[in-house]
Amino acid sequence: MSLVIQNTLSNQREAFQPLEPGKIKMYACGVTVYDVCHIGHGMQAIVYDVLRNYFKFKGFEVTYVRNYTDVDDKIIARANELGVSALEHSEKMIQETEADLALLGVKPADHQPKVSDHIPEIIDLIQSIIEHGGAYESGGDVYFDVQSFPQYGCLSNRTPEELQAGVRVEVNPNKRNPADFALWKRAKEGEVAWDSPWGPGRPGWHIECSALAMKFLGKAFDIHGGGRDLIFPHHENEIAQSLKGTDGPFAKYWIHNGLVKVDGRKMSKSFNNFLSIRDAVRDYHPETIRFTILSHHYSGSIDFSEKSFYDAYHRLIYFYNTLKRIDQMVAMVSEYPDSLPANFEMPEIEADFIKAMDDDFNTVQALAKIGQVFKLMNDLIAAKKPKMKMKLHALVTMKEQVKKALAILGLCQEEPEMGLAQIQDYLVRSKKVDLEKVQSLLNDREQARSEKEWGKADELRDQLLEMGVAVMDTPSGTEWQVLP
C-alpha cells in the first residue's frame, strides 16, 4: 500500500505522489505571535513534526517551512498595551514560542521565516497580482479582486453565495466587493510600516504565506498544512492570490488538522479554559500531551481533559516499564543466543507501523499496533518457558524495532529509568503525594518483610495503594510508583 492522503482540495483520499521523486516540500502556517502559544498551536506543530519524521523515515529529503507572522493588528494592539514596538514584542514572543514548542519535543522547521524579513518578496507578489488583473489599489490599500478568480471557493467547496455569507462584511467604500480582501494595508499613524508603490503600509494576513511558501519552496510544492479553521478564508485566499499572481501552480496536497476543545468546550479565554503550552507542560509530562494528540487522528478535534492526560500516563508508564524490564534482563545475562525461541513468530512491527501511517498518517492505528507489541513483549517476559536467556534475542529485537516507531511519533524518547522518574515527579506534584509518609510506610513494610510478618507487609502495601502508590517487589529490590 502506498501512502494515501486526504486532500482537502479534492475532498478525496489520494495516493501521494511527490512532485519530485525522493523529495518532499512542505509548508505549514505558523503562529501569529501576539501572545503565548496555546495547546492548539502545539497540536498543529506536533502533527507536522510527525509528518516530517515519517517522510524522513521513508527516505525522503524533506524541506519543511513554518512561518512566523510578526506584524499584524493583534500584535500592534498588544505592543501598544505594553508600550513597546510591534517588532520588539513579536521578536520576544517568537523566542518564547520556540521555547514552548521545544518543551513538546517539536524540532524547528528547516526554514522559519518572519514576515518582516520578507517585505520585498511580498510587494513583488502583490505587484504581479495587480499586473495579472487580480488586485487593485484604493486609498493606499491594495485589495484582491475576488471576482477576477472564477475558481474562488475551490478549497472550502463553497458557492459564491455561501462565501459571501461567510465574510465578515465591514463597510469599506474602498472595496469593489465586500468579499475582496487586503493584500496591503495603508499604515495608520504610529504603526510599523514599510515603503511600497502604494505608500507606507504593511502586508495583509493572507499574502505573507503565499510569498514565503514560494520563496523557500518554489511556485509548486507538495504539501500545504494548517488547522481546519484556516481553510476559509486564509487558505482559500492563498490559493486565489497565488494562482492569480503566478499563473500557478501552487500546493498539490492540502492537509488540515482538527481543533482543540478543553473539557468538552471550545477553548476560549471567555470560557476560562484557555490552555497555554507552558501551563500544560507545568501540569502534565510533555510526552502525555504528544500521546494524547497522537491517540486521535490528526484531522479530528481533540478534547483535552484530566482523563485524557491520565490515560496517556497509564500507557507511557506501561511502555517505559516494559523497556526498563528488558534492559534489566539484558544486564543480568552475560550473553544470550542470537536466535528466536522455538515456535515464536516475530511480529512485523515495521510493516504494521508503515501500513498504519500510510493510511493518511493514522497514528491511532499505529499506536494500537505498538500497544500489541508491548503486550507480546510482556507476555513473553511473564512466560515460564522458555528460560530468560532464550527470550532475550526476541525481546531485544522487538524493543529496538518498536523504539524506532516510537521515535517517529516523538514518544518514549528518554531512557526508561529517566522517563519513569520524570513521570513520577509530575504525578507526585499533581496528586500532592506526601513523600515522607510514603517513605515511612515503605520502611515499615521492608521491616515487616525482613521479620517475615507478611500480613503486616500486605496491610502496609494496601495503605500505600489507598494513597495512589503501587509497590512492586522486583529482583533488584522494592520499587514504587504513583498511579495515574
64 and 54 Cβ atoms separated by less than 8 Å? no
> CATH 1.20.120.640 occupies which residues in the chain?
305-422
pLDDT score recorded for residue 9: 97
Q: How far apart are the C-alpha atoms of 234 and 206, rounded to whole Å? A: 6
- Name the CATH topology of 305-422: Four Helix Bundle (Hemerythrin (Met), subunit A) (1.20.120)
pLDDT score recorded for residue 114: 98
**Nearest 5 degrees, angle CA 274-CA 310-CA 402?**
115
pLDDT score recorded for residue 264: 80
Q: How far apart are the C-alpha atoms of 372 and 398, rounded to whole Å? A: 11
Helices first, then strands: H and E counts in the chain: 16, 15
- Name the CATH topology of 4-134+205-278: Rossmann fold (3.40.50)
Q: Which amino acid is at 202?
A: R
pLDDT tens digit string along 219-261?
Answer: 999 999 999 999 999 999 999 999 999 988 999 999 999 999 8
Query: β-pairing, 221-227 with 251-257?
Result: parallel
201 and 235 Cβ atoms separated by less than 8 Å? no
pLDDT score recorded for residue 474: 81
pLDDT tens digit string along 367-426?
Answer: 999 999 999 999 999 999 999 999 999 999 999 999 999 999 999 999 999 999 999 999
Query: β-pairing, 181-186 with 141-144?
Result: antiparallel
pLDDT score recorded for residue 475: 75
Low-confidence ranges of the chain (pLDDT < 70): 1, 160-171, 269-270
257 and 44 Cβ atoms separated by less than 8 Å? yes
pLDDT score recorded for residue 167: 56
Q: How far apart are the C-alpha atoms of 284 and 427, rounded to whole Å? A: 8
148 and 130 Cβ atoms separated by less than 8 Å? no
Distance between start and end Cα atoms, the chain: 38
pLDDT score recorded for residue 160: 62
- DSSP secondary-structure letter at 114? B
Q: How far apart are the C-alpha atoms of 25 and 250, rounded to whole Å? A: 11
Which helix H or strand E contains 144, and what residues bound it? strand 141-144
Query: β-pairing, 469-474 with 477-482?
Result: antiparallel
For the whole model, what pTM was predicted? 0.94
> CATH 3.40.50.620 occupies which residues in the chain?
4-134+205-278
Q: How far apart are the C-alpha atoms of 285 and 445, rounded to whole Å? A: 30
